[in-house]
Amino acid sequence: MSRQTIGLIIVIAILGGLLMIRGFIGQGMGRVYTETVTKEYVEVDVPAADPVMVDEEKATAGGLVTERRWVAVDSEEAAKYRQEGSKVVTWDEKKQVPAREVLADPQNATATLDWSRTIGLWAAALFTLAIFSFLYKDNPIYKTAESIVVGVSAGYWMVVGFWDMIVPNLLGKLVPGFVQANFMPGMTDLQPQWAYLIPAVFGLLLLMRLSPKGQWLSLWTLAFIVGTTAAIRMVGYIEGDFLSQINSTMVPVYEVVKNEDGTVNGYSTLWASIRQLTLLIGVLTCLTYFFFSVEHKGAVGKVARVGIWFLMITFGAAFGFTVMGRIALLAARFEFLFDDWLWIIDPNQNREIASAISMIIG
């Protein structure tokens, strides 16, 4: 057995021992409490927010245009527009309750321990530690966690894509009556739109990529997707990046900033002008650096070198911003481990906790 394997076993044993000790100190750890809340909604006809969009002819004639909507039974709209025989749906959902409310009076608490969410909490914590184990070295625990996370994520987004995209945007347009009766009872537009057969055919052709002999059929869909995406993105980049950057440089170098009483604010005017001048110098020097028709010597070389400084500062700021985002994600995972799982910290005051020192003393 290698030293690295022995070290990994020792680390796992220490973590397991600490978890066992933590579980018997204070109020425990890693538990989720929920209570059952009953939701009740009723279907009513309320005045349309945009009558022209619902019924243009009736709205133009001055008639009352209504739209069917599901509202809570105890809402003002239900009390005002509910009629006898209106459809009512009821379901129960679980609402998470802070552990403080349960642990303060366990005998009279209405919330109970939710085993499914508790198991999910522990699974998330253990998977987080398994991914962190890569910091030690590449190991089977990390590979197993990575494969499970990637597989579950792919399956999850496939299901989300089916219910959020295919069902409402494809099936809901082709067979709206079937979709309303089985999946989306709130649908109001029940007129089939046969033009959506075109994307349906393209989607089926894309699935032909799974067939060894029919892969060439999927190229039509791929070509359409790549072409339209490139065109849409190009227009978006031209309007959002290229033209906006040009517009941002076409500003006066000397910018006057006035106070509320109309007098000139010298301090703000100075710094606003410096900002505009810096922007102008940065744009011109960076363009000079990328202008390769003239050899970068003499004055041109010096200007290009200034452009390099601007580029490096920009790249450094972008990299720093990216690192800050990653650090924020890391901090969120640590907060999850120490707050939701270990109950060592409690920033939201969800439970009674003891500090690390008091736990050791106690």
The 8-class DSSP code of residue 135 comes to G
pLDDT tens for each residue of 52-106: 665 666 556 566 777 778 888 888 888 888 888 888 889 888 998 888 888 777 7
Percent of the chain whose predicted confidence (pLDDT) is above 70: 90
91 phi and psi angles, rounded to 5 deg:
-150, 160
Beta carbons of 73 and 88 less than 8 angstroms apart? yes
Alpha helices in the chain (DSSP H): 3-23, 51-54, 56-60, 76-81, 99-104, 115-132, 140-161, 172-174, 176-182, 197-207, 215-237, 243-249, 266-289, 298-335, 356-361
pLDDT tens for each residue of 2-43: 776 777 777 778 777 777 777 666 667 888 999 999 999 998
Least confident residue range of 142-146, 181-185, 218-222, 320-324: 181-185
CA 358-360-362 angle, to 5 degrees, is 65
pLDDT tens for each residue of 255-288: 888 888 888 888 888 898 898 889 889 989 999 9
Least confident residue range of 86-95, 151-160, 298-307, 312-321: 86-95
Q: What is the DSSP string of 206-245?
A: HHGGGSSSSHHHHHHHHHHHHHHHHHHHHHHHIIIIIHHH
Span 300-321, average pLDDT: 94
Q: d(Cα 244, Cα 231) in Å, to the nearest integer?
A: 18
Higher local confidence (pLDDT), 324 or 84: 324
Q: d(Cα 268, Cα 276) in Å, to the nearest integer?
A: 12
Beta carbons of 205 and 220 less than 8 angstroms apart? yes
pLDDT tens for each residue of 148-170: 999 999 999 999 999 999 999 99
Asked if the model's pLDDT at residue 312 lies above 70, the reply is yes
Helix (H) or strand (E) holding 42, with range, is strand 33-47
Beta carbons of 78 and 89 less than 8 angstroms apart? no
Question: What's residue 128's pLDDT?
Answer: 92
Q: Would you tell me how many other CB atoms lie within 10 Å of the CB of residue 50?
A: 9
Q: d(Cα 45, Cα 43) in Å, to the nearest integer?
A: 7
Percent of the chain whose predicted confidence (pLDDT) is above 90: 33
Question: What's residue 348's pLDDT?
Answer: 76
Estimate the crossing angle of helix 115-132 against helix 140-161, to 10 degrees: 130
User: Residue 359: which pLDDT band, with cuts at 50, 70 and 90?
Assistant: very low
Question: What's residue 360's pLDDT?
Answer: 43
pLDDT tens for each residue of 170-212: 999 999 888 888 888 777 778 889 999 999 999 999 889 888 8
Span 40-47, average pLDDT: 87
Beta carbons of 259 and 234 less than 8 angstroms apart? no
Q: d(Cα 188, Cα 60) in Å, to the nearest integer?
A: 21
Question: What's residue 12's pLDDT?
Answer: 77
pLDDT tens for each residue of 238-259: 888 888 878 878 888 888 888 8
Asked if the model's pLDDT at residue 215 lies above 70, the reply is yes
